Structure 1
Amino acid sequence: MLTPMLLAALLPLLLLCRTSFGQYSSDQCSWKGSGLTHEGHTRDVEQVYLRCSQGSLEWLYPTGAIIVNLRPNTVSPAASRLSVCIKPSKESLGTNIYLDRNGKLRLLLRERDQAQGKVHCFSIQEGALFIEAIQHMDISRRITAFQYELISDRQGAEANAVGAPCQPCSDAEMLLAVCTKDFVARGSIKKVEQEEEQSSVTVDISHLYRQKTQVFIPGGVRVRRWTGHIKMPRQCGVKSGDGEFLFTGTVRFGEAWMGCAPRYKDFLRLYQEAQRLGTNPCHVDAD
């Protein structure tokens, strides 16, 4: 049985534990909370700390505001050269999202913008996310939700650059893409489907060099082949056709996005010449 003196000593620790539990997600990658815990205190601001390279946030019945601090789970100089990309749910409602740097707010996404489900990237140096609830008479159907990923600043710039994948890659960019991109695969284009704001390219893969996640899945029983879908901006005007290509690109929120995609014969000629000169940035199993 606890004595009054021991209870008095433990009480501050118990209160501290309660506060920390309310602020941190259980796995430090994803957070789910409810504005109803504010119990009418509409000016409450809660701190949320996430320490993973990817995860999600879901805020039910938002009231007041939350500040989301996103940082990698490592301490290194490279951590300051990261970008944060967020992809709101198309059902996300109830808040405006700002960037908060030293108390100065910059609007990132209005409530109506979140329904488009587009990816938005910003440098981690631009601050934390300040998510402010919009006052409504009925908050019962309002949920703010998004996924996030931490990527390199270069990838973040590519994600924000509308139409960048349409530009032809230089020889140096092609050779570097084979070494650094999330997926590298040799194959052909089977079908192109035009969606609302992008094209979905169905590809048949004969040689899979690398993939960060399972973008391409086995497509044959006896023959070792794969199939999958690669996204491109609709304005690129990609079409199905004959010939083999070397597909390279980036995986964002589980979707493959096209980067450099030269015809395989052109890449092979370029690679063999660079190999002769000793300027290849890395080795691939080219034939």
Structure 2
Amino acid sequence: MLTPILASLLSLLLLSRISFCQYSSDQCSWKGSGLTHEGHARDVEQVYLRCSQGSLEWLYPTGAIIVNLRPNTASPAAARLSVCIKPSRDSSGTNIYLDRTGKLRLLLREEDQAQGKVHCFSIQEGALFIEAVPHMDISRRITAFQYELVSDRLGVDAQSPSVPCQPCTDAEMLLAVCTSDFVARGSITRVEQEEEQSSLTVEISRLYRQKTQVFVSGGVRVRTWTGRVKMPLQCRVKPGGGEFLFTGTVRFGEAWMGCAPRYKDFLRLYHEAVQQGANPCHVDTD
């Protein structure tokens, strides 16, 4: 017969197994624990995440898990998506591979995860195979990352256009105005060089759209906005230069520049497209 203390411990253990073993096919985030299958560490659990963004947290990793990242809708365009993951700076305890039909390719070593850098790959390259690295003490090991599914317009490096610093084509420019996370007219007031990218401070005179709070209003009586946008370091952007139409994406809470034509050039292109009936969406240029 179990004593009251042992019964309580057993109850807690069962509850922890239930709460950690969440393998729903519709969830955006997953949290699990290697303690739930420590006795059969050779087993490989399947995790299915079907959202455009979410997170994973694997406490005390043992054995391995396979993480399948897919959009929640079936579409031919899904085959052209890229997946980006951003490890937590405290992430450790595993090596992360890409698993395509049983063939593994190393994506991220345990020691590299603390850098917190974004790593991207085509959704066609397979699932994530996350394998625990043997340690004497796993109590301090937690593998954690955020993920996002992004358009292939951003390529394998989803922090920048597929060809960094190369101007967008006319078609890309018109489409960017319709599909970007933010669209704004303004100028560059300051450029700061960071470790691997440039950070642009921009002043906005006309805000068409923003998916998240990229640009902050200067106040009720001041019809301007300011914000910071990232670009690849090699683009060598300078402040000034007149007015631009800024478009771009928001990745893991940071705004990244996409197509950014001079406003006068965009205006000419847009009016030509309207006359030809080729504009993909309406833009109020008054």
Aligned residue pairs total 271
Question: Do structure 1's residue 81 and structure 2's residue 76 form an aligned pair?
Answer: no
How far 1:279 sits from its partner (Å)? 3.2
CA distance in 1, matches of 2:136, 2:19: 31
1:45 is matched with which residue?
44
Three-state SS of the structure 2 residue aligned to 1:188 is strand
Three-state SS of the structure 2 residue aligned to 1:262 is coil
Q: Give the 3 Å change call, closer, same or farther, for CA 80–91 of structure 1 in structure 2.
A: same
How far 1:250 sits from its partner (Å)? 1.5
Asked if structure 1 preserves the Cα contact closer than 8 Å seen for 2:86 and 2:118, the reply is yes
CA distance in 1, matches of 2:136, 2:48: 29
Three-state SS of the structure 2 residue aligned to 1:147 is strand
Counterparts of residues 57-136 of structure 1 (less than 5 Å): 57-136=56-135
Asked if structure 1 preserves the Cα contact closer than 8 Å seen for 2:93 and 2:143, the reply is yes
Residue type at the aligned position of 2:199: S
CA distance in 2, matches of 1:139, 1:30: 22
CA distance in 1, matches of 2:259, 2:202: 15
Asked if structure 2 preserves the Cα contact closer than 8 Å seen for 1:36 and 1:61, the reply is yes
Counterparts of residues 1-287 of structure 1 (less than 5 Å): 22-24=21-23, 28-157=27-156, 159=158, 164-287=163-286
How far 1:29 sits from its partner (Å)? 0.9
CA distance in 2, matches of 1:158, 1:19: 37
CA distance in 2, matches of 1:259, 1:161: 7
Q: CA RMSD in A?
A: 2.6
Structure 2, unpaired ranges of 5+: 1-13
Q: Give the 3 Å change call, closer, same or farther, for CA 235–251 of structure 1 in structure 2.
A: same
Q: Give the 3 Å change call, closer, same or farther, for CA 224–25 of structure 1 in structure 2.
A: farther
CA distance in 1, matches of 2:161, 2:133: 30
User: Higher mean Cα deviation, 161-170 or 46-55?
Assistant: 161-170
Structure 1, unpaired ranges of 5+: 1-14
TM-score (norm 2): 0.84
Three-state SS of the structure 2 residue aligned to 1:285 is coil
TM-score (norm 1): 0.84
Three-state SS of the structure 1 residue aligned to 2:45 is strand
Q: Give the 3 Å change call, closer, same or farther, for CA 178–29 of structure 1 in structure 2.
A: same
How far 1:211 sits from its partner (Å)? 1.8
Three-state SS of the structure 2 residue aligned to 1:36 is helix
Residue type at the aligned position of 1:272: H
Q: Once the two structures are superposed, what CA deviation does each residue of 1:108-133 show, in whole Å capped at 9, x if it has no partner?
A: 11122322322222222322111001
Q: Percent identity over the alignment?
A: 84
CA distance in 2, matches of 1:19, 1:47: 16
Q: Once the two structures are superposed, what CA deviation does each residue of 1:155-210 show, in whole Å capped at 9, x if it has no partner?
A: 34462778833112233332222222221100111221221111111111111112
User: Higher mean Cα deviation, 186-195 or 149-158?
Assistant: 149-158
Residue type at the aligned position of 2:158: A
CA distance in 2, matches of 1:78, 1:256: 24
CA distance in 2, matches of 1:268, 1:162: 22
Three-state SS of the structure 1 residue aligned to 2:129 is strand
CA distance in 2, matches of 1:147, 1:156: 18
Residue type at the aligned position of 1:126: E
Asked if structure 1 preserves the Cα contact closer than 8 Å seen for 2:20 and 2:33, the reply is no
